Chain A
């Protein structure tokens, strides 16, 4: 298959990531069907598409014709059969649960045309863990967008041992068509590129705080001032949620059995106190 053969895209999941990926694809001129089992999520996604495209026109970023075109190409449905039945490319952006994804990929394998590539937007479930639920492992890969998907340029395309080079290449080409900059990971690895590098930084920052070398504020200051990062690791963890840092470290530790993967004492303390960051008004920093 070549990139030119892709006309119709199905986005599974209309949540946080899915609805923005769907709008991206529609803006790039693809016929897009976005599906979700939750009708409310689907309705919210549809009204987002309407208001977002309208705003882009008001801001002069899009012509009215471009917005109309995108809207005309974008369809929402709660039926997976309806959404995936004629898709050339499926991007799965459902909840990050293994059993759900495996079931979904088995269903998609049944529903989607045999030539269709089935990609997952998962940020940490590598596609080799879902590929065997299908009869087309060569057409399965990770295509990882960043949040918010309409803004963030990067896409990580991860080629598993089962993924054909053609599939990875078409996924790279599709990313480019969407106006993204894609990087090709030649092997699967937990966390891909960005989350691995970010967690290496966070780990070191937590170690420094745990050892009492400096405070989270000072460590953030050091990083933003001397390295020019837009945000320090503690401020960022407050945004993404300290509960998430806790859960992902626990999960990692349970998988690897390596004590180095355990959440840091500071993360455990914050987690236990319910100080999970911005969403609880208190994390490493306090929010009004």
Chain B
């Protein structure tokens, strides 16, 4: 199968990531069906599209005809069978729960034509944990977009031991057609590239704070001023949620049994105090309600 055989894309999940991936693929000229079990999420996604496209046209970023084509190429449905049964490529962007993903991939394997590639947007569930529920493991792969998917250029395409090179090659080409910058991971590894490197920075920063070497603000200042990072690690954790840092650390620790993976004392403290960052009004920094 070549890139020209990929015409119809199904996006499973219309949430945070799914609706933006759907819109990105539609703008790139693919015929896209986006599906979700939750009608409300689906409706919100559709509303987003009807405001986003005119805005882009108004800003001169998109031609009216291209916006019209994108809108015509994109449909939303709560029926998985309708969305997936004629797809050449499925990008699954459902909730990050292994059991749900395994059920979904088994269903997709039944619904889709034999040639269909089944990709997951999961940021940390490697596709080998899912591939065995399908009859087409060579067509199962990770295709990890970043949030917000309409803006962020990077896509991590992760080849599992079961994934064929044809599959990764095609996904790389789909990314390029979408105007993305794909990188190919030749082996599966927890956290892929970006989250691993980000975690390395976070862990070292938390260690420096735990050891009482410097305050969170000073560490953020050091990183932004001397290394030119757009944001320090503590400001970033406040944005992504300290609860998430806690859960990921705990999950990792339970999986590996390595004490080095345990969340740091400070993260545990913040988690228990419900100082989870921006969303709770307080994390490492204070966010006064306006």
Binding site for B on A (CB under 8 A): 146, 152-154, 156, 181, 183-187, 189, 193-194, 196-198, 200-201, 203-205, 208, 211-214, 218-219, 221-223, 225-231, 233
Does B208 interact with chain A (Cβ within 8 Å)?
yes
Does B228 interact with chain A (Cβ within 8 Å)?
yes
Collect the chain B residues with CB atoms within 8 Å of residue A187's CB: 211-213
- B interface bracket (residues with beta carbon within 8 Å of A): 35 or more
Give A217's nearest chain B residue, CB to CB: B183
State in angstroms the CA–CA spacing of A156 and B226 once bound together.
10
Check B213–A185 contact: CB distance below 8 A. Answer: yes
Check A193–B214 contact: CB distance below 8 A. Answer: yes
B residues 175-193 with Cβ under 8 Å of A?
A: 181, 183-187, 189, 193
Check A204–B223 contact: CB distance below 8 A. Answer: no
26 interchain pairs (CB within 8 A)?
Answer: A152-B225, A181-B221, A183-B214, A187-B211, A194-B226, A196-B204, A197-B222, A200-B204, A204-B197, A212-B186, A213-B187, A214-B193, A218-B184, A219-B183, A219-B197, A221-B154, A222-B197, A223-B193, A226-B194, A227-B198, A227-B229, A227-B230, A228-B230, A229-B227, A229-B230, A230-B228
Partner of A222 from the list B156, B205, B222 (CB cut-off 8 Å) is B156
State in angstroms the CA–CA spacing of A189 and B152 once bound together.
36
Collect the chain B residues with CB atoms within 8 Å of residue A186's CB: 212-214
State in angstroms the CA–CA spacing of A222 and B192 once bound together.
10
Collect the chain B residues with CB atoms within 8 Å of residue A184's CB: 214, 218
Does B124 interact with chain A (Cβ within 8 Å)?
no
State in angstroms the CA–CA spacing of A136 and B187 once bound together.
56
State in angstroms the CA–CA spacing of A143 and B186 once bound together.
44
State in angstroms the CA–CA spacing of A171 and B245 once bound together.
35
Check B152–A226 contact: CB distance below 8 A. Answer: yes
Check A181–B225 contact: CB distance below 8 A. Answer: yes
Collect the chain B residues with CB atoms within 8 Å of residue A205's CB: 197
10 closest Cβ pairs, A-B complex = A200-B204, A204-B200, A225-B154, A183-B218, A218-B183, A154-B225, A230-B228, A222-B193, A228-B230, A193-B222
Does B264 interact with chain A (Cβ within 8 Å)?
no
- Scoring B153, B154, B204 by chain A CB atoms within 10 A of each residue's CB, the highest score goes to B204
